[in-house]
Amino acid sequence: MSYAKTISVGLIGVTGHLVEVEADLSNGLPAVVLSGLPDTALNEARDRVRAAIVNSGQRWPNRRITVNLLPAALPKFGSSFDLAIAAALLAGAGELPLAALEGVAMVGELGLDGAVRPVRGVLPMVVAAARAGMSRVLVPLDNAREATLVPGVRVKAIDRLHRLVAFVRDGEELLDPPAGPPESSPDGPDLADVAGQALGRRAIEVAAAGGHHLALLGPPGSGKTMLAERLPSILPELDDASAIEVTALHSVAGALTGGTSLIRRPPFQSPHHTSTVPSLVGGGSGLARPGAISLAHRGVLFLDEAPEFASRALEALRQPLETGRVCLARVRGGTEYPACVQLVLAANPCPCARPAGDTVCECTPLARRRYQGRLSGPLLDRVDIQVSLTPLRAAELMAAGAGGEPSAVVGERVAKARAAATARWAGSGWRTNAEVPGPVLRRPPWRLPRAHTAHLRSWLDSGALSARGFDRVLRLAWSIADLDGRQRPSAGDVDEAVGLRTGEAL
């Protein structure tokens, strides 16, 4: 009887877990038994591993083979265990001395020809291996640069199974991750390109400062998309922990093409209005893929032409927006992905989407109201800022000259405002003004002087302003004060905050 054990890593959501791969070879009818809750892909591993071993010039042990993946209770998905299974099997058969693989975690899918293929989610796998104290990881060549983003662990790459055999048996070297300077993430579009649009620019600056969700209403040509795309450029860069988390999500989605650097810019996702629910919130068989809302984690989720999205799709976003997480129900245990996003909705004023004043638009006031009404309810309830934009007039364009203030300058103000808010709410669990519940702002010590809110209160009493709208104006007033470096909102800040709620009856 012969036995060997190797180490691999499995993923649940975006979290890696070490998996021990045991192989036991005994005399008996030749057969291969896989145990440890394998899914279909893992069952296919049996055939892949066999072909890869034979086609790498190794002898297939014609014995009774039991492969067991531990811990058994951990659901296992995908093909990333192939390499560790092949290694355990060869070692168990006495073809490989295993000493050289002590302290090594390995992941990789095997092709029938013995090639080692890239897998999704290598980054979080390597994070888990490093955390568990593994000193070295062995990953597919195409994933190797992604793996080197994790500090504190030595990465070796492998392109073919026979290279592992040569390494373990003959001491030949494994491959080093491809060298080359880390690709800096390309600079996104800059606010300097936006001419005029004072209200729109102010709206995204306040949104960035307070972490407020934002709705931009206006006819085509009013710059909604242009402004939304530039919101990430004025948000603070991601810190180390967030950068790893965000990059890991993109790794699991298989969206890190050539992934050579950590994602430092807040991501921007703009799913099309025909997107399905799984593509928005995640899904798929096996290891569920994160959806657009998780790929936008710590960044911006932009829904252009938001009323055109299926109501089912908008409804599916509600829960993650509330909790900052997506929970996907699976047959074997649920998968969770983080999904803290800043939401930007854009909508045309009417279904025909003609420029304002265009004589061709024959939408009735009722049709317009109904169209905009598709957004109301759960989603719009969470949106603090609503502004109506108008197409740029020639005079405005000329006056603006070469363009507006660049993102770097605006971003500095945003960073200062965020620091002020973080300091104010330290100890209460909120980091941004958008997270602060309304009642807190209506009570001492944060209640504003009566004189500052006189207008607001009279609107509330007359029914022109809802209680929710009242709280939103207060939140926005704090963000405006933070941007302008005031300790507390002034009467003017409250007035400006009202102006950022023009999209609907207050």
Binding site for Zn ion (CB under 5 A): 350, 352, 361, 363
Q: Which of 204, 219, 240, 483 is nearest to 372 (CA)?
A: 219
Pick the closer one to Zn ion by CB: 175 or 363.
363
Say how far apart CA 109 and CA 4 lie, in whole Å.
20
Tell me if residue 77 falls in helix, strand or coil.
Answer: coil
Task: Find the shortest distance in angstroms from Cβ 344 to Zn ion.
Answer: 23
Pick the closer one to Zn ion by CB: 352 or 460.
352
Pick the closer one to Zn ion by CB: 350 or 473.
350
Q: First CA to last CA across the chain, in angstroms?
A: 77
Pick the closer one to Zn ion by CB: 74 or 361.
361
Tell me if residue 277 falls in helix, strand or coil.
Answer: helix
Q: Is the peptide bond before 71 cis (omega within 30 degrees of 0)?
A: yes
Pick the closer one to Zn ion by CB: 255 or 352.
352
Task: Find the shortest distance in angstroms from Cβ 352 to Zn ion.
Answer: 3
Record the tokens describing residue 253, joined without a space.
């989605």
Q: Which of 278, 297, 8 is nearest to 138 (CA)?
A: 8
DSSP H or E stretch at residue 15: strand 15-26
Say how far apart CA 166 and CA 161 lie, in whole Å.
9
Task: Find the shortest distance in angstroms from Cβ 220 to Zn ion.
Answer: 11
Task: Find the shortest distance in angstroms from Cβ 349 to Zn ion.
Answer: 7
Q: How many CA atoms lie within 13 A of 197 on its CB side?
A: 29
DSSP output for 36-60: SSB-HHHHHHHHHHHHHHHHTTPPP
Task: Find the shortest distance in angstroms from Cβ 228 to Zn ion.
Answer: 22
Pick the closer one to Zn ion by CB: 134 or 350.
350
Q: Are 345 and 217 in contact (CB under 8 A)?
A: no
Pick the closer one to Zn ion by CB: 226 or 352.
352
Pick the closer one to Zn ion by CB: 350 or 480.
350
Pick the closer one to Zn ion by CB: 118 or 355.
355
Say how far apart CA 75 and CA 287 lie, in whole Å.
10
Task: Find the shortest distance in angstroms from Cβ 347 to Zn ion.
Answer: 12
Tell me if residue 458 falls in helix, strand or coil.
Answer: helix
Say how far apart CA 339 and CA 291 lie, in whole Å.
9
How many C-beta atoms lie closer than 10 Å to residue 324's C-beta? 13
Task: Find the shortest distance in angstroms from Cβ 353 to Zn ion.
Answer: 7
Task: Find the shortest distance in angstroms from Cβ 377 to Zn ion.
Answer: 22
Task: Find the shortest distance in angstroms from Cβ 350 to Zn ion.
Answer: 3
Q: Largest alpha-carbon pair distance within the chain?
A: 89
Pick the closer one to Zn ion by CB: 310 or 352.
352
Q: 454-462 and 467-483 helices cross at what angle (nearest 10)?
A: 160
Pick the closer one to Zn ion by CB: 327 or 363.
363
Say how far apart CA 191 and CA 318 lie, in whole Å.
30
Pick the closer one to Zn ion by CB: 354 or 442.
354
DSSP output for 321-383: HHHSEEEE--TTS-EEEE--EEEEEEE-SSTT-PPTT-TT----HHHHHHHHHTTTTTTGGG-
Task: Find the shortest distance in angstroms from Cβ 137 to Zn ion.
Answer: 57
Task: Find the shortest distance in angstroms from Cβ 219 to Zn ion.
Answer: 9
Tell me if residue 473 falls in helix, strand or coil.
Answer: helix
Record the tokens describing residue 439, joined without a space.
């009642």
Pick the closer one to Zn ion by CB: 175 or 367.
367
* CB < 8 Å & 24+ apart, contacts of 451-458: 451/491, 452/489, 452/490, 452/491, 452/494, 453/494, 455/494, 455/495, 455/498, 456/494, 456/498
Task: Find the shortest distance in angstroms from Cβ 308 to Zn ion.
Answer: 14
Task: Find the shortest distance in angstroms from Cβ 360 to Zn ion.
Answer: 8
